[in-house]
A and B are shown apart, each in its own frame.
Chain A
Amino acid sequence: MQMITRRQLAAMAAAMAAMGTGAAGAQEMPPHERELHEAARREGEITWYSGQYSAEGSEAVGRAFGERYPGVRCNVVRSTSQVAFQRLSQDNRAGVAQCDVFSSTDFGHYSLLKREGRLLKYRPVNADGLLPALRHADPDDTYQSSFIGLYLLAHNTRKVSEAEAPKSWTDVLDPKWRNQLAVGHPGFSGAIGIWAVQMRKMYGWDYFKRLERNRPLIGRSSIDPVTVLNAGERSVGVAVPSGSTLLSIERGNPLRLIYPTEGVLATISPSAILRNAPHPNAAKLFMEFTTGPYLSQTVRLLYGESLRPDVPPPEGSRPLDQITLLAPTQEEAEKGVPEVRELWRDTFGI
């Protein structure tokens, strides 16, 4: 992985040494994984619809999975979460099963899928090692936590000084930010949908009407504003993912994260195996991979949050226990995201 600095490499090596997992070969696999691996190998591959990690991150996860479990290839189908869900719905409508594991930042998707009976119940053994808050995403075990996304504000330090920069979610509504903001789209990004539900809960829809008056540049993914900030096209990004922003900073872009005073939007989102998954064993193995230390080790190098106490959080990210986390409930998300999507389109015209 070309984007790893030497410092990170050392940190990673240290972490691995501490846990004794290393670049694990098959022989070091715990028995439950080895068993699943055997079965998964016969299936040969797994198809993963993912909107959770960045394109780079998802590819890295897919590769790491393939390296840890030789003979099982991971087909990474990375898109924004709503598009991933759209694909899943299209598959369903066409009566075709293509997806094994579905990962979305819009956790409202899961209550819907679960209610429709489209998820496979599976409790990964490794899930017991997750952070306590993540251990039981679903009491019925139809889905498991696989992603902590932190969404906050960021600014281009060349265009806006730290002192001038907005401090809170409501600061960006100030008319002085007209034509300076960038944001993703809830019709595409799951996280932006969750964020919009949360903002509406806190400030009412008026928040977005005022935001509209500032004419933000609307991308699709929540990562789009990061790109826009890098280029200096806009100076403040709204609801940008911490991971992509930190990665971008590491690459030399003049960005800085802002932790809004009200708190950071946290989407703790799960992954689930589809009931009609064409490769059920590989899918179970993938869930073991996700809940085990392997995924966290992989994504933290790209500044993704770790899901486990035994894998340190990424560098430059504030530890989770030091920040206020904002998030709607799952019910609020399931009901709210489709609503805010429509409202958004009415308000922003797109």
Chain B
Amino acid sequence: MPDTTIALREPGPAARRTTWFGRLRHVEPVTLLWAVLIAALLFLVAFPLLKLLAVSFETQGSGAFTLANYGTAYGRARYVEALLNSLTLGLITATIAVVLAVPMAWAVSRTDMPGKGFTWAVVLAAFVMPPYLGAVGWILLAGPNSGFLNLAWRWATGAEDPLFDVYSFAGLALVIALHSFPLVFIFVKSALDLVSSEMEDAANILGAGTWTAMRKVSLPLVWPSILGGFILVFLETIALFGTPAIIGIPARINVVTTQLWQFFEYPVRVEVAAAYAMPLLLITVGLIAAQRLVLSRKGFVSQTGKGGERRPIRLGPWRWLLFGWCAGVGLFAVALPLLVLIQASFAKAWGRGLTLDNLTLRDYRLLLFEHEMALTSVWNTIWFSGVAATLAVGLALLIAYIVARKLVPFGEALGFLAMAPFVIPGIVMAIGFYAAYAPPPLALYGTATLIILAFTARFLPIAYANSTAAMRAVHPEMEEAARILGSGRLHAIRHVTAPLVKKALLGGWLIVFIVASRELSAAVFLVGPRTRTMSVLLYDLSEAGNFEVLAAFGGILLVITMVFVGIGMKLVGRDFMLRRT
């Protein structure tokens, strides 16, 4: 074999002569890259959180150690009550979300229900709609005296009392659940997709009907996903700022986020806010631990493998009932709020209803051509979200890679860090960023950089989960095959792994982009006058109670989002947002 070594250096005496050089040859140059990544993670996640922890023990001004902040933070019944309110709200909301989503997921994944595409669109639309816009929509729908639903109800039944009061605990929970159930849906559907029909067949042959098989076999098999979705919604809910501010204040429900906001009133008490946020972190960490514990005992559907043969279950007439359920959720989560918002955005005075003389383009004109900040905020939103999504996906991919390939001994810790922001309420994250990077030496307060970094950190978990799933789908041998043929690790990643995960990553990018573009709680403490995003401007607008302008601006935000969703569907396939992320 004369030309064995075509272009590879023939090992000669040189390689053996100097031992350190020989050693160097054995070191992968990319090790340096891993070090950089770890530093980035520490900067984005660990440092702000540690800073938050440290600050919670500092005396304002002097910086001396104190426990007083905890005393202040939990020294008043009202503050403790806000925490309890948040927890209760989280539980109720998550329960509602599960109740809404699980039948839909089962119907779409396992049955012959008609209108699956429609249901899919409902879930997507509910996911894409910013929660605070939904909240405004629901105020217009279910204000006890003026909401269209309640007016219709009174008109139809002659009743005195409203059908549903949005300014209530139930109202707050329902409105949040109507915009967070897609998380449960995504989790449960993708798990159900992996349950092979044979599992149900096996139950059927033993005498279980469709209903029993679903209850006793399919659903228990996807129990971890249901639990996962539940926890996710719970966390989203306690981290939400916009909806509680818009509905919770009139409903007189103080929650953690609105309470944190109060600690930022003059004089800004970051220390107390930090102390107040700590138990929240403990609770979420505890939840995740509990989930692990519950799940470790039994075998469940494998999340990675392919299911066996799958057939839709024939439901007969029941399928219309299920369809009705999905359509109902669509009506309340998407169609009605959207309709009233659109009506309001074109109305001179939204309370006067839909009449020709009430129509105007005034608010759109104001926003698009006259409002000094509106278009700037649109542009800010797009580029902040775009850069953050790129950073998050890039970082997440490399971390997922390190962890999946076990390249560093403490890879699990890296993965944990990348997932950590997941359990940190966005507003806490923002306070951490404020404490760590707003003041000198970095003095990033109000700059685009700070907002982008905060977005990157906040949505790193989404990107990471997405990248991990993508990495899992690529057999390590794919890459090893390239390496043994002479391709270095980075070369192999670029030419083999990256093309294989490209679509999944693009999907991940778009999801991060979309959620970042509507993110409020992480942005509201960090923006400066010229770096306000659409969501913050919307929040500012909502402070002045002008629902017409607010609705019009929401309309613009939705149009922009839809454009990106459209791009995503075109490039990645129409279910890109609904794959398990």
Q: Contacts of B253 on A, CB cut-off 8 Å?
A: 350
Min Cβ gap B384→A in Å is 17
User: Are A56 and B546 in contact, with the CB atoms below 8 A?
Assistant: yes
Decide: B525 and A231 in contact? CB cutoff 8 A.
no
Complex Cα–Cα for A26 and B282 (A): 61
A86 touches B366 (CB 8 A): no
User: In whole angstroms, what is the CA distance A88 to B358 when docked?
Assistant: 39
Decide yes or no whether A349 CB sits under 8 A from chain B.
yes
B545 touches A231 (CB 8 A): no
Interfacial chain B residues near A74, Cβ < 8 Å: 372
Residues on A with beta carbons closer than 8 Å to the beta carbon of B371 = 59
A25, chain B: closest CB distance, angstroms: 21
Shortest CB distance B503–A (Å): 41
Give the interface size class of chain B: 35 or more
B362 touches A3 (CB 8 A): yes
Task: Judge whether A284 is part of the interface by a CB distance below 8 angstroms.
Answer: no
Min Cβ gap A246→B in Å is 14
Q: Which of A49, A59, A225, A230 is within 8 Å of B372, CB to CB?
A: A59
Asked if B292 is at the interface (CB within 8 A of a chain A CB), the reply is no
Is B252 in contact with A218, judged by CB distance below 8 angstroms? yes
B438 closest partner in A (C-beta): A94
Known: A83-B543, A98-B528, A188-B543. A2 touches B366 (CB 8 A): yes
- Which chain B residues lie closer than 8 Å to A157 at the CB level? none
A77 to B254, CA, bound (A): 26
Q: Which residues of A contact B267 (CB under 8 A)?
A: 89
In the complex, residue of chain B having the shortest beta-carbon distance to the beta carbon of A235: B145
A91 at the interface (CB under 8 A from B): yes
Which residue of the partner chain, among B365, B439, B443, B540, contacts A2 with CB atoms under 8 Å? B365
Q: Is B351 an interface residue (CB 8 A)?
A: yes
What is the CB-to-nearest-CB distance from B401 to chain A, in angstroms, rounded to a whole number?
36
How long is the Cα–Cα vector from A228 to B143 in the complex, in angstroms? 9
User: Is B324 an interface residue when CB atoms closer than 8 A count as contact?
Assistant: no
Residues of A within 8 Å of B370, CB to CB, are: 59, 63
Is A185 at the interface (CB under 8 A from chain B)? Answer: yes
B245 contacts chain A at the CB level, 8 A cutoff: yes
- A63-B370, A224-B545 known; A350 and B445 CB under 8 Å? no
* Chain A residues touching B, majority SS: mixed
Q: Which of B74-111 contact A (CB under 8 A)?
A: 78, 81
In the complex the two chains form, is A251's CB within 8 Å of B349's CB? yes
Closest CB in chain B relative to A294 CB, distance in Å = 17
Decide: B543 and A79 in contact? CB cutoff 8 A. yes
Alpha-carbon gap, A73 to B529, bound state (A): 12
- Within 8 Å by CB of A55, from B365, B528, B549, lies B549
Q: Which residues of A contact B365 (CB under 8 A)?
A: 2
Interface residues of A in 234-260 (CB under 8 A from B): 234, 248, 251-253
Considering the complex, which residues of chain B in the window 323-371 have a beta carbon less than 8 Å from any beta carbon of chain A?
348-352, 358, 362, 365-366, 370-371
Chain B contacts for A8, CB-based, 8 A: none
A187 on the B face (CB < 8 A): yes
Instruction: Decide if B249 touches A220 in the complex (CB within 8 Å).
Output: yes
Chain A residues with Cβ below 8 Å from B547 are 227
Answer yes or no: A21 CB below 8 A from chain B CBs. Answer: no
Residues from 39 to 72 in A contacting B, C-beta threshold 8 Å: 47, 49, 54-56, 59, 62-63, 66
Q: A73-B372, A90-B438, A341-B265 are in contact. List 19 more A-B contacts (CB 8 A).
A: A56-B549, A59-B370, A77-B532, A77-B540, A79-B543, A82-B266, A89-B264, A93-B439, A94-B434, A98-B446, A188-B543, A223-B544, A224-B544, A227-B545, A231-B146, A234-B145, A253-B349, A349-B78, A350-B254
Q: Chain B residues in contact with chain A, CB under 8 A?
A: 78, 81, 140, 143-147, 167, 245, 248-250, 252-254, 258, 262, 264-268, 270, 348-352, 358, 362, 365-366, 370-373, 434, 438-440, 443, 445-446, 525, 528-530, 532, 540-541, 543-547, 549
Name 19 interchain pairs, CB-CB below 8 A, sorted by A: A2-B366, A47-B530, A55-B544, A56-B549, A86-B264, A94-B443, A95-B438, A95-B440, A96-B439, A96-B443, A96-B445, A98-B528, A98-B529, A218-B250, A221-B545, A233-B147, A248-B349, A251-B349, A345-B78
Residues of A within 8 A of B (CB): 2-3, 47, 49, 54-56, 59, 62-63, 66, 73-80, 82-83, 85-86, 89-96, 98-99, 185, 187-188, 217-221, 223-228, 230-234, 248, 251-253, 341, 345-346, 348-350
Q: Which 5 A-B pairs have the closest CB atoms?
A: A94-B438, A94-B445, A227-B545, A231-B146, A224-B545
